[in-house]
C-alpha cells in the first residue's frame, strides 16, 4: 500500500514540497542553488505548450468546427471571462475593505527600497480597445512561439484550423499528421512530468530560503486575506457556476485535478500543467475544439485569482500608507483593471506589471508603494495560479455544455472514479488517467 502511494505523482509532489520547505528553512543559503530545479521543469513544459495548443486547436476545428462556431464560442467565452473576473475583483474589494489587512503598518514611502519596482514599470498593458485588438495579432508567429505568447498562438491556430477544415481530402491528411504530432508532444510532457517532484522541491526551497518565514509573519494578514478570498470565490462563485452551468461538483473537479493543483502550488505556475489540463478536460467529456479554444484563451483572459490579488494589493498599499481609497477611487481602479489585466499575458511578472500600470493610470498614490508587497509576491502567486486553474476548468466545462459538446454522463463517471472507455486508445494519457481506461 505504501509503495503504491509513493508511485502516485500527487504524493511525490507533496513530499517534494514538504522537503523543500524544510531545506529552505534550515538551509536558506541553498536557496539560489536549488532554484534551477523548478526553472528547468517549467522551461521544459513551456517548450511544448505552443505546439500542443496549435495541434489541439487545429485538429478540433478541422474535425468539427466552422467559422460561425468559433465566433460564437469566442463571444461566449469572452463574456463569461469578463463576468468572472469582475466578480473576482468585487469580492477582493469587499474582503480588503472588511478585514483591512494594511491598517496598522504605518509605512513611510520615503523609507522603502523602490529600486526593484522599476522593472515592472517598463512593460505597458493595452489601455484601449484598439490597442488590445492590435496586440492580439502576431507580427511574427515564429517569434510568438519562441516567446510562448498564447494569445498570438491562439489566433494563428484558429486561422490555420479553419484553413485546414476547408481543404477537403488533403486537409484531412494534414489533420491526421498534426494529430499524430500532438500525441508525440504529449509523450514529451509525460517524460517531463516525472521531474515535477524535484521541481516542487527546488521551487519551495528557493521561496522559503530566499524570502524567509519572517516575511510571512510581517505581512501574514494580507496573505491570509488573499487565501480566504480565493477560497470564497471557488466555494461560492465557481461552485454555483459548476453546479448550475456544468452540472458537476466543483469539489469533485478539484479532486480530479489534484495533481495539477499541487504542481501549480509547488511551482507557482499554472503554465506547467496546461498540457495536462487540455488532456484531462478531453478525458472528462469536453470536445477537443472547445478545450483547445477556451483553455489557451482562459490563460490570458480568465485570470480570476490574479484579479482578486490586484484589487486587494492596491487597497492594502493604501491602508499601509494611511491613504485609504474612497469608493470613487475603488470604482476607477476596477474599471482600469478590466482592460489592463487582459492585455499583458505572457509578460514576466505580469500581475506586478498590471499593478504598476494601474497605479500610474489612476495616480491614486505613487507606484513606488509596490515595494511594500514585492517580498511576498511569490507566496501569493501560488494561490493565484491555483484559482486561475480551477476557474478555467469550470469555464471550459460550462462553455462545452452550452455548445452541446460536453458528455455529462462520462464526466459524472470519471469524477466518481468509475471505469470509462478511453477516448483514443492510441493517445498517451497520464498515470492518473490510466485506471479509467480499460
What CATH number did the domain enclosing 210 receive? 1.10.3860.10
Enumerate the H helices of 194-326 as residue ranges: 196-211, 213-218, 220-232, 239-240, 250-256, 258-267, 274-284, 288-301, 304-320
Residue with cell 520615503: 110
Residue 57 burial class via C-beta count within 10 angstroms: exposed 0-12, middle 13-18, buried 19 and up: buried
Q: Which residues contact 288 (CB under 8 A, 6 or more apart)?
A: 56, 59, 60, 63, 64, 282
Q: How many distinct structural domains can be found in the chain?
A: 1
- 432 pLDDT above the threshold of 80: no
Residue 89 has a pLDDT of: 92
pLDDT digits (tens, 9 = 90+) for 272-309: 899 999 999 999 999 988 998 899 888 888 889 988 99
Whole-angstrom distance, CA of residue 27 vs CA of residue 275: 34
Of the pLDDT bands very low, low, confident and very high (cuts 50, 70, 90), residue 349 is low
Whole-angstrom distance, CA of residue 201 vs CA of residue 198: 5
Residue 213 is part of which domain span? 8-436
Between 347 and 218, residue with greater pLDDT? 218
- 127 pLDDT above the threshold of 60: no
Residue 211 domain-assigned (yes or no) = yes
The pTM for the full model equals 0.84
Residue 281 has a pLDDT of: 96
Residue 60 has a pLDDT of: 84
363: left (phi over 0), alpha (psi -120 to 50) or beta: left
Asked which of 45-49, 58-62, 364-368 is least confident by mean pLDDT, the reply is 364-368
Residue 205 has a pLDDT of: 85
Residue 437 has a pLDDT of: 39
Residue 153 domain-assigned (yes or no) = yes
Q: Which residues contact 290 (CB under 8 A, 6 or more apart)?
A: 60, 73, 396, 399, 400, 403, 405, 406
To the nearest whole number, what is the mean pLDDT of the chain? 83
**Count of CB atoms situated within 10 Å of the CB of 424:** 13
Between 242 and 341, residue with greater pLDDT? 242
Residue 3 domain-assigned (yes or no) = no
Cell of 254: 478539484
Residue 14 has a pLDDT of: 84
Cell of 106: 504605518
Amino acid at each position: 500500500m505504501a509503495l503504491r502511494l509513493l508511485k502516485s505523482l500527487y504524493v511525490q509532489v507533496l513530499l517534494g514540497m514538504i522537503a523543500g520547505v524544510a531545506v529552505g528553512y534550515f538551509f536558506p543559503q541553498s536557496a539560489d542553488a536549488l532554484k534551477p530545479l523548478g526553472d528547468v521543469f517549467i522551461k521544459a513544459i513551456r517548450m511544448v505548450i505552443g505546439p500542443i495548443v496549435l495541434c489541439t486547436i487545429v485538429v478540433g476545428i478541422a474535425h468539427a468546427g466552422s467559422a460561425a462556431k468559433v465566433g460564437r464560442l469566442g463571444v461566449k467565452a469572452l463574456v463569461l471571462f469578463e463576468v468572472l473576473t469582475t466578480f473576482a475583483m468585487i469580492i477582493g474589494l469587499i474582503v480588503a475593505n472588511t478585514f483591512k489587512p494594511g491598517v496598522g503598518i504605518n509605512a513611510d514611502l520615503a523609507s522603502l527600497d523602490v529600486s526593484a519596482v522599476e522593472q515592472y514599470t517598463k512593460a505597458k498593458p493595452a489601455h484601449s480597445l484598439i490597442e488590445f485588438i492590435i496586440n492580439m495579432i502576431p507580427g511574427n508567429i515564429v517569434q510568438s512561439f519562441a516567446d510562448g505568447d498564447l494569445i498570438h498562438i491562439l489566433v494563428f491556430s484558429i486561422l490555420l484550423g479553419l484553413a485546414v477544415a476547408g481543404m477537403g481530402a488533403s486537409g484531412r491528411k494534414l489533420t491526421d499528421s498534426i494529430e499524430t504530432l500532438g500525441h508525440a508532444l504529449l509523450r514529451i510532457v509525460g517524460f517531463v512530468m516525472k521531474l515535477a517532484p524535484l521541481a516542487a522541491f527546488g521551487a519551495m526551497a528557493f521561496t522559503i530560503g530566499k524570502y524567509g518565514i519572517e516575511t510571512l509573519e510581517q505581512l501574514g494578514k494580507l496573505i491570509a486575506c488573499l487565501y480566504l478570498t480565493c477560497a470564497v470565490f471557488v466555494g461560492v462563485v465557481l461552485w454555483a457556476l459548476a453546479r448550475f452551468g456544468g452540472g458537476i461538483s466543483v469539489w469533485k473537479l478539484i479532486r480530479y485535478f489534484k495533481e495539477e493543483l499541487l504542481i501549480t502550488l509547488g511551482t507557482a505556475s499554472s503554465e506547467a500543467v496546461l498540457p495536462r489540463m487540455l488532456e484531462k478536460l478531453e478525458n472528462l467529456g469536453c470536445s477537443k475544439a472547445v478545450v483547445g479554444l477556451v483553455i489557451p484563451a482562459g490563460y490570458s483572459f480568465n485570470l480570476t485569482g490574479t484579479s482578486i490579488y490586484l484589487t486587494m494589493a492596491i487597497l492594502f498599499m493604501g491602508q499601509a500608507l494611511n491613504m485609504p481609497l474612497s469608493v470613487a477611487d475603488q470604482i476607477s481602479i476596477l474599471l482600469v483593471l478590466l482592460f489592463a489585466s487582459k492585455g499583458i499575458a505572457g509578460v514576466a511578472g505580469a500581475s506586478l506589471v498590471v499593478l504598476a500600470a494601474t497605479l500610474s493610470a489612476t495616480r491614486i498614490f505613487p507606484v513606488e508603494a509596490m515595494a511594500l508587497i514585492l517580498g511576498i509576491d511569490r507566496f501569493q502567486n501560488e494561490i493565484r495560479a491555483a484559482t486561475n486553474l480551477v476557474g478555467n476548468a469550470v469555464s471550459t466545462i460550462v462553455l462545452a455544455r452550452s455548445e452541446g459538446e460536453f458528455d455529462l454522463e462520462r464526466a459524472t463517471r470519471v469524477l466518481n472514479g468509475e471505469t470509462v472507455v478511453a477516448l483514443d486508445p492510441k493517445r498517451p494519457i497520464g498515470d492518473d488517467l490510466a485506471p479509467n481506461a480499460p
